[in-house]
C-alpha cells in the first residue's frame, strides 16, 4: 500500500504525460496507469480521488473511441490538476 504523497506524485506524472503528449497521442498505458491509481486511491480511503480518477478514465476511453469531445477530457484533467494541488498544499480532508 502506498502513501497519499506517493499517489499524488504518480497522478501528477500521469496527468503531465497526458498533457505533454496531447490527447491525439493518448495511449492505453496512461489509461491503465490511471485505473491502477484508482485502486490505490480506494485503498487509501481517498473516495474523492477515486471518483475523479474513474471519471477521467471513463472520458478518456470515450475520447479514444470517438464518443467524447476534447472539452470533456479537458474539464476532467483540470479537476485532477486541482485535486493534485489540494494534496500538495496539505489539504487532506475530504480526499
CA atoms within 13 Å, Cβ hemisphere of 68? 20
Residue with cell 479537458: 74
pLDDT digits (tens, 9 = 90+) for 10-64: 999 999 999 998 988 888 899 999 999 999 999 999 999 999 999 999 999 999 9
- Quote the pLDDT of residue 1: 55
Domain ranges of the chain: 4-88
Residue 71: all three cell numbers together = 472539452
- What pTM value is reported for the model? 0.92
| Closest CA relative to residue 34, chosen from 21, 16, 20 | 16
Amino acid at each position: 500500500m502506498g502513501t497519499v504523497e506517493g499517489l499524488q506524485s504518480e497522478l501528477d506524472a500521469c496527468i503531465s504525460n497526458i498533457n505533454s503528449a496531447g490527447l491525439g497521442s493518448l495511449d492505453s498505458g496512461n489509461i491503465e496507469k490511471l485505473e491502477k491509481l484508482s485502486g490505490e486511491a480506494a485503498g487509501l480511503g481517498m473516495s474523492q480521488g477515486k471518483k475523479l480518477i474513474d471519471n477521467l478514465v471513463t472520458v478518456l476511453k470515450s475520447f479514444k473511441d470517438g464518443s467524447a469531445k476534447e472539452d470533456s477530457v479537458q474539464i476532467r484533467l483540470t479537476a485532477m490538476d486541482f485535486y493534485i494541488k489540494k494534496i500538495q498544499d496539505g489539504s487532506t480532508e475530504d480526499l
